[in-house]
Structures are given as structure tokens and as C-alpha cells.
Amino acid sequence: MTKQKIKKLSGTLRIIGDKSISHRALILSSICIGKSEITNLLESEDTMSTVNILTDLGIQIKKKDNKWIVYGNGTNGFIQPKKVLDCGNSGTTARLMLGAVSTNPIYCTFVGDKSLSNRPMRRVTDYLEKIGSKVNLTNNEHLPLTIKGSQINLPLLHEISKPSAQIKSAIILAALNTDGKTTIIEPKQTRDHTELLLKYLKVNYKNQKITSGGRKLIFNGPYEIRSKNIYVPGDPSSAAFILVGALITPNSKIKLLDVLLNKTRIAYLSILKKMGGKIKIKKTKIRSGEQLGTITVSASSLKGITIPANLSPYLIDEYPILSIAASQAKGTTYMKGLDELRYKESDRVRSIVGMLKSFGIKTETRKNDIKIYGSPSKEVNCIKTVKVYSDHRIALSASILGIISNNPVKLDDRGKSMTTSYPNFKNDLKKIIIS
């Protein structure tokens, strides 16, 4: 099979809205009092799951002139839903919405697709049960689950055992409607978009650094939050695909505008720079509490490196695309401590290795570590259909390697999963492909 040869990637793109911030913008505006306008909201399957669930919970949400308008009902304002709450493929929807409903006296059933129904939920519900809600999980761990929110909620000290922004955010959302002092300690700092948006919304809480490198958050609820308009910056995790595409395609140079530069999200840029990537980052403005900027990338000769386990919370969504960069780097890349990757949209240790094998790239797995033998001088060919396990980041990563492969890449889901986070990926790519 042949395909049209691509000469390079070149041009300027404005990246779609950040997925994590889009979920939070929707949920937080729903628990504010009054009307919020959200600009640049990511319109993908995942974020639409959040829109639909909030609507089922009595929140009025509509789209007008490219803005999403949310009429918030306050921190205690969700009404009894008439149907099950369908989270689709979205772990963030499930985990954050569980926290949001847990302190409202309503009874909810959460369901999800096959992939989400295999992902752990106790990591969130254990904390919510301590606060006061009653939860029933399938097989003691999974969706479908029911949750009965309580009107009497306990202000507690929560020490989170895993570094997870989803667990932290679920507890924060519960704390906003809990009478008294809730303290949350996270061992390592994870993405802090919930905290930054709350600060932007003028919510008064304490945020302290602790010696482990994590944070201690102290809330004194319940809160009455006034609504404000929210701008969603470009998604750095989606930008990562385009950016790696430019790094591995000879003669490329691209510029990405208005990308979120929150430091909990862009560790992958330091990794790519360490691999030899020519990447320039320029801070431009702060909007709705988050730093934005421009990223410029040129094609580069990459080299393999070791990525230590302690960085994994900061690279959690970027390992699939980093594995593509590694496959085109000289030498071996060693990714360590990928335990949490087992619980993502797919078991990403398995799906990353499978994807690379579909291109004949040599890998080795030892428990939760992956070794990738890069071979930049070897021609890239897709030798069999890539099994993406319905995982958007695997489909997107394989498509990026497809830019430099001799034959078209075949995805077993034909790219359907990309709509989870990056529905206009193919159009964006078309804008910068020079053939």
C-alpha cells in the first residue's frame, strides 16, 4: 500500500480547549450562583458527557455564538435526576461528578462505556463515604454505581494516597458544600486546575506547600460562589501530538498559539527538550487564572533517555506520544514506574507496546517499565492494524507516526476514539501538512 508522501509540517495552529479545564469550567459554573459564559470549551465526547450529566441534574446549559452559557444553582443545587448519569468514556466526568453530587441529598446512578466500567472508582468513593454519602459499586470497585448524597457531611482531614487530580478534585467539590474545615493533603502536586479556577472565582481557601513536594489545601465551607466568565486555554496534551509530529518529520516548523503552560501539565516539553527537541516556549498572558503561551517546534534529531518513575504523575497522559518520539530517537528510551498507566482509558503499558509492535518497533516490558529501542534511520511502515483498545491517545499517537510511515496507518476503530479529546485532529493536521 502506498500513500501520498508528506514533505513537512509547517504553519501556525490554535489548539482546541483543554479537556481537564473544560470539565472543571462546566462543573464549577454549575455550582456557582448566576450565569457564566465559557469561551473555547472543548467540544468532545468526554466534555459533552459532563454537559449532559449536569443537565440531568437540573442545570441549564446552552450554546450561543460559540460560547457555552451555564446557569449555576449553587453548591447545594443539584436536583434528583430522572435517569442514570452516563459518563461515556470519561473518567474525569465520573470521578469529579461523584464528588460534586455527594453532598447533595439526591440518589444517582453512574454508568459508563466498557472501558470506563473497568476503571477503579473506589479510589474516589472511599473518601466520599467517609464524608457521608452511601455508595454501591459493581464488584466493589466499578461502574455502574449508585450514590446517595447526604445532607449532613463531615468536615475531615483527607490524606490522599495516590497522586491523582481526579481524587483531589472530587474531595474539593465535596468540601465546597461541607459545613466546617476540610483539609486535603496530596503527597505530590498533581494538576491544579480546580484550585486555580476556584481562586479565580474568589473562593477563600488555603493552599500550602508541604515538604514531600505535595500540597495541603484547607477549605472552610459551605461556600457561596459568584459566577464569572471563564476562558479555556489550549490543551497541552492535545498539542503534544502535533508537536511530536513536527519533531519527527524532517524540515518541519510549527507554532502553536494560546497553549496552557501550567507547570503540572508541560513536563513532557522538558522531556522532549532533553531528548534533543528544538522547542521554544513563550509565556503570553494569564486568563481565568491559568498561564498561556506560544510553543514553537522544529524537526530535530532525537536521542533516547531514561524517564524516572517520580515524573510519572506529570507525564501521565503523554506517555503514548512520548513513546512515538522515543521510537524515532537514537538509542534506547526507558520509561519507568508506569503503574498508573494500567488504569487509564486502556491498559496503556499494553496498548503502547502493541501500537509500537504494529510498526515493527522493538520494545521490552518489565513489570511496569517499558524500554523502547529507537531506530530513526529505519523506514517506518505500519505492518498490521493498530489495536487502539478504544483509547483516544493511542489512536492519536499512532496517527502521528503515520505522518512519516510509507503506508497508511490502519486503526482498528478507524479513529473513532479520537472524538474523546481531539475531534478535529484530522482537520488540524491537514492545515499544517505540506505535501
Within residues 327-346, the interface with ligand S3P by CB under 6 A covers: 340
Catalytic residue list contains 317: yes
Number of residues lying near ligand S3P (CB under 6 A):
11
Rg (CA), the chain: 21
Separation CA 416–CA 273 (nearest Å): 31
Q: Which of 358, 390 has the CB closer to ligand S3P?
A: 390
Backbone angles phi, psi at 359, to 5 degrees: -105, 10
Q: Which stretch binds ligand S3P (CB under 6 A): 161-169, 251-259, 357-365, 374-382?
A: 161-169
CB of 20 to ligand S3P, least distance (A): 3
165 binds ligand S3P (CB under 6 A): yes
Query: Residue with C-alpha cell 482546541?
Result: 16
Helix (H, G, I), strand (E, B) or coil at 142: strand
Residue from 22, 29, 178, 190 binding ligand S3P (CB under 6 A): 190
Separation CA 15–CA 1 (nearest Å): 32
Q: Which stretch binds ligand S3P (CB under 6 A): 146-154, 160-168, 226-234, 271-279?
A: 160-168
**b/e 229-260 (16+ beta carbons within 10 angstroms → b):** ebbbbbbbbbbbbbbbbbbbbeebebbbebbb
Determine the residue with CB nearest ligand S3P.
20
Q: Which of 50, 300 has the CB closer to ligand S3P?
A: 50
**Between the CA atoms of 194, 200, 206 and 209, what dihedral angle is there, to the nearest 10 degrees?**
70
Residue from 8, 158, 188, 191 binding ligand S3P (CB under 6 A): 191
Within residues 261-290, the interface with ligand S3P by CB under 6 A covers: none
Q: Which three cell numbers stand for residue 274?
A: 532533553
Contact between residue 147 and residue 134 where contact means Cβ atoms under 8 Å apart: yes
11 in the Ramachandran plot: left (φ > 0), alpha (ψ -120 to 50) or beta?
left
Distances (CA, A) of 331 to 327, 334, 398, 403: 9, 10, 20, 21
CB of 164 to ligand S3P, least distance (A): 4
Q: Which of 391, 428 has the CB closer to ligand S3P?
A: 391
Residues 86-105 as x/- pattern, contact with ligand S3P by CB under 6 A? ------x-------------
Within residues 347-406, the interface with ligand S3P by CB under 6 A covers: none
Q: Which of 6, 53 has the CB closer to ligand S3P?
A: 53
Q: Which of 164, 358 has the CB closer to ligand S3P?
A: 164
CB of 98 to ligand S3P, least distance (A): 13
Closest CA to 165 of 20, 321, 319: 20
Residues 299-318 as x/- pattern, contact with ligand S3P by CB under 6 A? -----------------xx-
166 binds ligand S3P (CB under 6 A): yes
The secondary structure of 206-266 as a DSSP string is EEEE-TTS-EEEEEEE----B---EEPPB-HHHHHHHHHHHHHSTT-EEEEEEEE--TTT-
Residues 15-54 as x/- pattern, contact with ligand S3P by CB under 6 A? -----x----------------------------------
Contact between residue 346 and residue 115 where contact means Cβ atoms under 8 Å apart: yes
Contact between residue 67 and residue 39 where contact means Cβ atoms under 8 Å apart: yes
CB of 29 to ligand S3P, least distance (A): 16
CB of 267 to ligand S3P, least distance (A): 13
Distances (CA, A) of 155 to 98, 163, 219, 404: 17, 21, 9, 54
Residues 6+ apart with CB under 8 A from 49: 86, 87, 88, 89, 90, 93
198 binds ligand S3P (CB under 6 A): no
Q: Which stretch binds ligand S3P (CB under 6 A): 73-81, 153-161, 163-171, 176-184?
A: 163-171
Q: Which of 160, 254 has the CB closer to ligand S3P?
A: 160
Catalytic residue (choose from 46, 113, 317, 391): 317
Q: Which residue numbers are catalytic?
A: 317
Residues engaged in binding ligand S3P (CB under 6 A): 20, 92, 164-166, 169, 190-191, 316-317, 340
